[in-house]
A = this chain, B = another copy of it.
Amino acid sequence: MVSEQWIAGVDLGGTTTKIAFINLNGEILHKWEIPTDNSNEGQNITKNIANAINQKLADLNEQKTKLIGIGMGAPGPIDYETGVVLNVVNLGWKDNFPLQDSLHSLTSLPVVIENDANCAALGEMWNGAGKGARDIVCVTLGTGVGGGVIANGDIVRGINGAAGEIGHITSIPFGGAPCNCGKSGCLETIASATGIVRLAKDELLKAETQGQLAVIFAANGSVTAKDVFDSARNGDEFAQQIIQEVGFHLGFVLANIANTLNPEMIVLGGGVSRAGDILLDKVNTNFSNFAFSAVKESTTLALATLGNDAGVIGAAWLIKNKLNL
């Protein structure tokens, strides 16, 4: 009997790199983290990953042949022809870095790289909320709003790698808040943690608001997105209004995405999505109002199930896909 083979999934972040050994069913067998070493123009990053993988295999008494490849999610734009990461300054790399070639040279294993938001979407498709689906859209509601689009079972990258910029869909065409991207009224200015805090503060500063959230604000001089959701759950009407507004814009934007792509599922992940049903219910209501009937009947909204593991699992899928396993 041939023993089970593993794939190494790597999720490269600005401060931490997550690594996992994953089987061909998309299940994590071992996972750990190493610091991302941005010094020396990022020249140690791939060496550290290769060493960490070798060390872990040794610790587990496994041969290198146990691994069939390394899939890796990286932040920022990627040249998929060459496996070069473009202009990711916060990793220390000057200009472009040949990530795929570098890691392949160090490990002699097949290496596939992909944008990290796309990896998260692939992870949820392979073994998460979208398991078994071939058409899903993943939206990550974190500090910003990111996205990944999968159609016909494969990532949609677009001509310039900018597909999935769901956070920069305009939801307020006139008079919206300025976005870091240079536009205004982007979904990210409303539905990210940052956006929710902004909405709350704008109102708390100008209105004579009462309730739990106002008390927190008076005490701390600030509020968090979690404060908003907690206060809403405790009956704070002002906080509920903010969630209503967030739910409106998410429902509006996601319905329009669904009218374009009719995915089986739209998966909401990231810190803000942990608010759960109090947010999802409002998103669903607005989604139903703005979705075309045949879309409303067939596209469902769901919360992500893999959390921070989505990235390494999706990265591992890249190898499964490349090797046609």
Contacts and interface: CB of A to CB of B under 8 A. Distances in A.
Interface of A: 77, 133, 135, 137, 147, 149, 151-152, 154, 156-166, 168-170, 173, 181-183, 252-253, 255-257, 259-264, 289-290, 292-295, 297-299
A260 B149 contact: yes
B255 A257 contact: no
Contacts of A261: 149, 156, 158, 163, 260
B159 A263 contact: yes
Contacts of A149: 151, 260-261
Contacts of A151: 149, 151-152, 156
A177 to B, nearest CB: 15
A124 to B, nearest CB: 16
A262 B170 contact: no
A260 B166 CA distance: 6
Given A152-B151, A181-B293, A255 B170 contact: yes
A22 to B, nearest CB: 25
A256 B299 CA distance: 19
Interface centre among A154, A161, A164, A292 (most CB of B within 10 A): A292
Nearest to A163: B262
Given A181-B293, A290-B173, A159 B256 contact: no
Contact of A292 (B137, B183, B255, B299): B183
Contacts of A262: 157-165
Contact of A294 (B156, B162, B252, B260): B162
Contacts of A162: 259, 262, 292, 294-295, 298
A298 B293 CA distance: 32
A135 B152 contact: no
Number of copies: 2
Contacts of A289: 183
A160 B299 CA distance: 8
Contacts of A135: 156, 158-159, 163
A157 B153 CA distance: 12
A135 B289 CA distance: 29
A144 B291 CA distance: 17
Given A183-B292, A290-B183, A154 B156 contact: no
Given A183-B290, A293-B181, A163 B264 contact: no
Nearest to A294: B162
A258 to B, nearest CB: 8
B263 A260 contact: no
A322 to B, nearest CB: 15
Given A169-B256, A181-B292, 15 more contacts: A77-B294, A149-B260, A151-B151, A158-B261, A159-B298, A159-B299, A160-B297, A162-B259, A162-B294, A164-B260, A165-B259, A169-B260, A181-B293, A183-B290, A260-B260
Contacts of A183: 289-290, 292
Contact of A260 (B77, B133, B257, B290): B257
Contacts of A295: 158, 160, 162, 165, 168
30 contacts: A137-B260, A149-B260, A151-B151, A152-B152, A158-B262, A158-B263, A159-B263, A159-B264, A159-B298, A159-B299, A160-B294, A160-B298, A161-B294, A162-B259, A162-B262, A162-B292, A162-B294, A162-B298, A163-B261, A164-B260, A165-B259, A166-B260, A168-B259, A169-B259, A170-B255, A173-B252, A181-B292, A183-B289, A183-B292, A260-B261
